[in-house]
Homo-oligomer: A and B are copies of this chain.
Amino acid sequence: MNVQNNTVKKLLEKYREIALLNEIISTLHWDLNVNLPRKGSEQRSHQITYLTSLITDKWIDPEIKFLLDECNSIEKLTQEEKAIVRNLNRAAKFYFQVPKKLILEQSEITSRAFVIWSEAKVNNDFKSFEPILSKIVDLTRSVADYLGYKENPYDALLDLYEPDLTAAQCRTIFEKVQPSLTQLLQKVIKSKSYNKANPLLDSQKEYALDLQKKLCDFISTKLHYSYDEGRLDISSHPFTTTLGRHDVRITTRYDRHDFKEALYSTIHEIGHALYELGIDKHYSGTPLEGGVSLGIHESQSRFWENQVGRSREFVSYIEPILSTLFQTEFQNVDQDMILRYVNDVRQSYIRTEADEVTYGLHIILRFQIENDLMNKKIQTKNLPEVWNVMMKKYIGVVPPTDREGVLQDVHWSMGSIGYFPTYLLGNLYAAQFTASMKKKISFEKTIAKGDLLPILNWLRTNVHTHGSMLFPKDLIKQVTGEALNADYYLEYLQKKYSTIYNL
């Protein structure tokens, strides 16, 4: 890494402490989700809050502002120095511009909101959640105001997760994607092959948990995710977290009746972990050491989960392994049945259970609601109705309860408004990366052989190694030669599902 400038070096020294504290917080969070005894949660929350306040203090340290101002006025900087200063400007902006009082108020309200949301969901009672959600929306709009934007307060929020992305750009992309997805969904469910007999759909089957663990360990090895630099544990919601540059851990969850739950959540999280582990180690402890955006991060998990993991070739490669591990359950099961099972399209109410065809529709719905909330075009009290109308329009079904509708996601209770779109962007980026990769690698052949190293190496060289050096739009341009283009995803889906469902 080419860092010569002394002021940048001083900034990096300051930042290193923040990076260490962030890793420590990640460790506390990992432990909270994987190990924490029931009664330990209150104290853990004090510990995390304390470290978070230490980090806030580091960011608002006038010395950081002084050094950044100085760096911003230096004309001659190396590429790395420029990226470091740019990323620090972006990260510090939040702390410089949003008053600490507002950050604390948001933190306090969202802590309470999580509990209220949990209960509202259990009781299917949106009205009990609505007042605090309305407050969260107002606070988030204030945050956006402090952060500043040109046209749309939602731009300020999107930018936190996907640098430089605007609501207008999102809308253009999503308005193109939505009708195609809805149309494809309609075709699939009307096709003669839909709901064709498939023994794997028998929910009485049981997959022994120790064998499922073996399957996941095998997958880790095949995907070159080593337990020398990570771990695979269980948590109620699968996640990936970076505890150190050589310590990137993933979790999964097992469903006794559905082997694909653990299999695909493991592959998904390994995708995130491989990204983190593939970043140039020279960037360690600097603001270049992480993934560049949530969208690009999600492209890596979705790539392995969907482009690779749900492909006909991958299914054909793991079929003998599945049949060996689960002999009884895989009697009279052929590769086509497995392929259809892992690509089963449903008019689902629940985003996290959605297939590749409907997933994007769930996201577009949330994007529109968030954008309208930020621009005061709708009010929180009308959300259930708005939600259901869009569900009907996009997916063709209306959830029977709010629990399966507007109350299903935790995100809004946490004040996380603006990052749902990155989930769909991830799928779009992934398809575009795949199209480029296919020009260099015999994609299907190498998967069918179970030899995934050429694919991983392509990602390492083209995507992973850069860490946060390049912004998403520059990365996608550099790697694929063009800006983000949703056609790749739409074509990929069209082709794949036409084959599976004989459209």
Contact = CB atoms under 8 A, between A and B. Distances in A.
A245 interface: yes
Contact of A246 (B37, B51, B229): B37
Contacts of A51: 24
B244 A20 contact: no
A27 interface: yes
A138 to B, nearest CB: 32
Given A27-B27, A27-B31, A244-B44, A228 B39 contact: yes
B245 A37 contact: no
Contact of A247 (B39, B243, B249): B39
Interface in A230-263: 230-231, 243-247, 249
B40 A229 contact: yes
Nearest to A38: B228
A327 to B, nearest CB: 23
A142 B242 CA distance: 41
Kindly report how many copies of this chain are found in the complex they form together. Answer: 2
Interface in A352-386: none
Interface residues of A, number: 31
Most buried by B among A17, A27, A51: A27
A149 interface: no
A246 B35 contact: no
Contact of A43 (B37, B40, B246): B246
A36 interface: yes
Interface string A330-356: 000000000000000000000000000
Contacts of A230: 37
19 contacts: A23-B47, A24-B28, A24-B47, A27-B27, A27-B28, A37-B228, A37-B229, A37-B231, A37-B249, A38-B229, A39-B228, A39-B229, A39-B247, A40-B229, A40-B243, A43-B243, A43-B244, A43-B245, A44-B247
Interface in A393-438: none
A131 to B, nearest CB: 32
B36 A247 contact: yes
Nearest to A46: B20
